[in-house]
Amino acid sequence: MEVVRISPRGYCHGVVEAIRAARRVGAEPGGEPVAMLGYLVHNEHVTRELAASGVRLVDAPTRLEGLAAIDRGTVIFTAHGVSPQVRAQAAARGLRTVDATCSDVVRTHDLVDRLLADGYTVIYLGKVGHPEPEGVVGHDPGRVLLVETLADVERLVVDADKLAVTTQTTLSVWDTNALIARLRERFPRLEVHNEICSATQDRQEAAVAAARECDVVVVVGSSRSSNSLRLVQVVEELAGTPAHLVDTVDELRPEWFAGCRRVGVTAGASTPSPLTRAVIQALEGLEPPPAAAGRPVALRAGRGPSAPGTG
């Protein structure tokens, strides 16, 4: 079976920089404890690698609640960013901070600060419960309004002379455009700032284009990863091609590939390259079923690397 390696895929620049920052502080001598405030990036393999180097995960429903469990040492702010309240609390408690916030997320925080200072109410398109919106909305929960769905848009009641919209960096490009279009219908004077990052957009567009020429697509990534889940979504909705999310090669199911001749492989922006290489190697070893037989294909997992790394 032909395996189409969809590019770009895998680590984006923000993930690379966040992991480098965490590795540096984890390797420092001195014995001071190091904790990351939530998942540095949404991938368990990266989390386990950092834990082995001495970086403890502190996961809680909110970043402020997690910070309350860190009483000394160094705290790493993850690639998703944190609210001003988290920064202030960390400083007040004398914690050393390492800021691994993605530069694209920093730009959104700066934009929201400017809009608020100029008197705008900000509609923020994002995923409820995701740490990135938590950090942005924290700039002013009364004037930064989190919206996730079209139903949320319809329920929105805003009494403001100056209104702007901005976005989480890892959303579906097409869903976001639909939400913005409806917001413009409801609020004609709306100022639009679409902050979906180029890494997210490029990966989604490449996946959809390639999927139209494939029988099935495999997305390597964590179920925690917003951008990985969006890759599955856009492939199925826009290309009409079946797509499956797998964390490792062991999650591949032979029945997905019965009768298939071309399979596309992509990976979320927080997926270590060795995991994707192992999936590609296994798919390249697929034995197509005999033409007259109805037996499922057999997967022959390769011996490629399965441990995390930058690749």
Residue-wise pLDDT for 252-264, tens only, equals: 999 999 999 999 9
Beta bridge partners of 174: none
Residue 156's CB is within 10 A of a number of other CB atoms, namely 14
Q: Going edge to edge, which strands form the sheet with 191-192? A: 144-147, 121-125, 163-167, 191-192
pLDDT above 50 (res 110):
yes
Distance CA 309, CA 261 (A): 30
CB distance 126 to 132 below 8 Å: yes
pLDDT above 70 (res 159):
yes
Name residues whose C-beta falls within 8 Å of residue 92's C-beta, 6 or more positions apart in sequence. Answer: none
Q: Could you say which of 3.90.79.10, 3.40.50.300, 3.40.1010.20, 3.40.640.10 is the CATH number of the domain covering 2-11+199-284?
A: 3.40.1010.20
CB distance 293 to 34 below 8 Å: no
132 is catalytic: yes
Fold: same for 2-11+199-284 and 104-192: yes
What is the topology classification, in CATH, of domain 13-102? Answer: Rossmann fold (3.40.50)
Q: What's the pLDDT at 93? A: 93
Distance CA 162, CA 111 (A): 15
Q: What's the pLDDT at 298? A: 43
> What percent of the chain has a predicted confidence (pLDDT) above 70?
91
pLDDT above 80 (res 161):
yes
List the chain domain ranges.
2-11+199-284, 13-102, 104-192
> What percent of the chain has a predicted confidence (pLDDT) above 90?
86
Residue 281: Cβ-neighbour burial (10 angstroms; 0-12, 13-18, 19+): middle
Q: Which of 93, 105, 31, 103 is nearest to 67 (CA)?
A: 93
Q: What's the pLDDT at 291? A: 40
pLDDT above 80 (res 228):
yes
Q: Mean pLDDT throughout 138-147? A: 98
pLDDT above 80 (res 120):
yes
Q: What's the pLDDT at 286? A: 81
Phi and psi at residue 33, to the nearest 5°: -65, 145
pTM over cut 0.75: yes
Name residues whose C-beta falls within 8 Å of residue 98's C-beta, 6 or more positions apart in sequence. Answer: 21, 22, 25, 74, 75, 76, 77
CATH, domain range 104-192: 3.40.1010.20
- For 57-92, the pLDDT digits (tens) are 999 999 999 999 999 999 999 999 999 999 999 999
Q: What's the pLDDT at 288? A: 55
Confidence bin at 301 (pLDDT 50/70/90): very low
Confidence bin at 106 (pLDDT 50/70/90): very high
Confidence bin at 306 (pLDDT 50/70/90): very low
**Mean of all residue pLDDT scores within the chain:** 91
CB distance 264 to 216 below 8 Å: yes
Confidence bin at 155 (pLDDT 50/70/90): very high
Half-sphere exposure of 75 (CA within 13 A, CB side): 25
At 278, the amino acid letter reads A
Q: What's the pLDDT at 302? A: 38
DSSP 17-66: HHHHHHHHHHT-SS---EEEES-SSS-HHHHHHHHHTTEEEE--SSHHHH
Set 17, 49, 132, 236: catalytic member: 132
Q: Mean pLDDT throughout 173-178? A: 96
